[in-house]
Amino acid sequence: MQISGSSAVVVGGTGGMGEATVRRLHAAGAKVVIADVNDEKGKALSDELGVRYLHTDAGSEDDVNAAYAAAAEQAPVRVSVHVHGGPAGGGRLLKKDGTPHKLEDFRLTIESYLISFFNVTRLAAAAIAKSEPYNDDGSRGVIINTASVAGYEGQIGQVAYGAAKGGIISMTLNAARDLAVVGIRSVTIAPGTINTPAYGKAADQLEAYWGPQVPHPRRMGRADEYGQLAVAIAENDYLNGEVIRLDGALRFPPK
């Protein structure tokens, strides 16, 4: 895919990995729409780069459709990246005092991390399908979702988060098969421990804890490494139906 001359939507584009992806896609020549709920950061990034920002609730059909409509006004919609965060709903399945995990916390995590991703995926597919193919293979674009290595080896207290991210992992190949008929690829990135500005003062502590556990490079990941991978996925037309771990060969221990 030739990114230049295409439009891209980054849902969660004001977060660490989202912002890095916005910058990478913009540098590659895409007309980028930042879709998120952090208006202050979104507008600041919009002003800096000259891209569009729309306040977007990933679980809202109207909001998400508006973001892709804004992208279509600028250029054919070819790239969708979804990397938004939300409440992780942490907690053991059963506490030491015998109290079970709260059902409402599980529901909230699934809603935030799985249902919203499905909502964006289906609406992104509808938007990209309206663009004309850009090659003889009938290719129209790519949908890049974000899971986590917790979807494979969730730690103690991550039963809800792991279930949600595991759902995104499972959705990847199904989506690729469903969307093959309209030339849309589906790829998921499963990050490990990525050190983003969201951690604030705790970033150094996290680096000291996680860095030595990563086989190589012996450090936490960087947000720009996510953005770099997202662009590489978009550019490679034969990469489809795959989940790519971005974790330095880290495998989560139980805790």
Contact criterion met (CB below 8 Å) for 21 and 38: no
Tally of CB atoms within 10 A around 98: 6
User: Three-state DSSP class for 61?
Assistant: helix
Q: Is 161 part of the annotated catalytic residue set?
A: yes
Tally of CB atoms within 10 A around 150: 21
Task: Please give, one letter per residue, the 3-state secondary structure of 197-246.
Answer: HHHHHHHHHHHHHHHHHCCCCCCCEEHHHHHHHHHHHHHCCCCCCEEEEE
The active-site residue out of 68, 113, 161, 226 is 161
Q: How far apart are CA 136 and CA 152, in angstroms?
A: 36
Contact criterion met (CB below 8 Å) for 131 and 78: yes
Give catalytic residue positions.
Answer: 161
